[in-house]
């Protein structure tokens, strides 16, 4: 049995900004090698959230129009309502998006950046490895509008034990209970690598 006191847990409730992109999913095929998830966390200045969302909506439309890889934007609905999480699925640790590296807004990119720049208070990016063996796919055809983001920091040197506990105890129990739509990821860059 693991000493759960060694874990630092925290949950954040996120609301899908539906006008920006559909619900969270992992895009890569299991056979293609490691699956990467990039999460850029952006905090907007007070009162600037609506402008930021408007600019992100334009950006999402530009990405969609040219067929770029999927991109999801979530807004926190408990705690700091000015915090957003942009989730993308890089093909490798060296690439953030996909094959098309040209500015998505084309000639209007500079104007777009000039509008969204002043709305941002802070930003940071973490790259995580998706762990399909420790995940339960969502029910077929489901598109949840709310996501619970749980952060667990494992004691140094105990990540292997934690992973074993998830695989052998927690995940089988949750599957038996009918839980769906659970994804586990572990930070590999941009944050504490003991963060799951």
User: What integer is the mean pLDDT of 162-186?
Assistant: 95
Query: Whose structure tokens read 């990467």?
Result: 36
Which of 37, 67, 73, 69 minimizes the C-alpha distance to 52? 73
Q: Per residue in 92-107, pLDDT tens?
A: 876 554 444 678 888 8
Q: Per residue in 21-74, pLDDT tens?
A: 333 344 444 455 679 999 999 999 988 999 999 999 999 999 888 888 888 899
Specify whether the CB–CB gap between 119 and 52 falls below 8 A. Answer: yes
Q: Per residue in 73-92, pLDDT tens?
A: 999 988 888 999 999 998 88
Question: Is the pLDDT reported for residue 129 higher than 90?
Answer: yes
End-to-end Cα separation, the chain, in angstroms: 19
Give residue 18's pLDDT: 37
Give residue 34's pLDDT: 76
Q: Per residue in 132-166, pLDDT tens?
A: 999 998 888 887 778 888 899 999 999 999 999 99
Question: Is the pLDDT reported for residue 180 higher than 60?
Answer: yes
Question: Is the pLDDT reported for residue 14 higher than 80?
Answer: no
CA dihedral (79, 137, 195, 120) positive or negative? negative
Question: Is the pLDDT reported for residue 186 higher than 60?
Answer: yes
Q: What is the DSSP letter of 172?
A: H
Worst-scoring range by mean pLDDT, 70-74, 129-133, 173-177?
Answer: 70-74
Specify whether the CB–CB gap between 96 and 127 falls below 8 A. Answer: no
Q: What is the DSSP letter of 135?
A: -
- In angstroms, the CA 151 to CA 187 distance is 10
Give residue 118's pLDDT: 95
Question: pTM for this structure?
Answer: 0.79
Question: Is the pLDDT reported for residue 191 higher than 80?
Answer: yes
């Amino acid at each position: 049995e693991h000493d759960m006191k060694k874990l630092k847990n925290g949950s954040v409730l996120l609301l899908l900004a539906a006008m920006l992109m559909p619900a969270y999913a992992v895009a890569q095929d299991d056979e293609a090698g490691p699956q990467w998830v990039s999460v850029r966390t952006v905090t907007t200045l007070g009162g600037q959230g609506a402008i930021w969302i408007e600019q992100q909506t334009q950006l999402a439309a530009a990405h969609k129009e040219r067929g770029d890889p999927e991109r999801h934007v979530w807004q926190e609905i408990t705690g700091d309502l000015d915090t957003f999480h942009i989730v993308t699925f890089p093909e490798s640790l060296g690439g953030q998006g996909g094959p098309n590296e040209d500015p998505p807004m084309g000639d209007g990119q500079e104007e777009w950046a000039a509008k969204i720049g002043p709305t941002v208070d802070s930003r940071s990016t973490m790259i995580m490895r998706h762990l399909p063996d420790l995940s339960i796919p969502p029910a077929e055809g489901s598109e949840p509008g709310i996501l619970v983001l749980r952060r667990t920091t494992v004691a140094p040197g105990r990540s292997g034990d934690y992973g074993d506990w998830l695989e052998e105890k927690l995940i089988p129990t949750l599957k038996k209970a009918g839980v769906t739509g659970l994804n586990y990821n572990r930070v590999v860059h941009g944050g504490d690598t003991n963060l799951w």
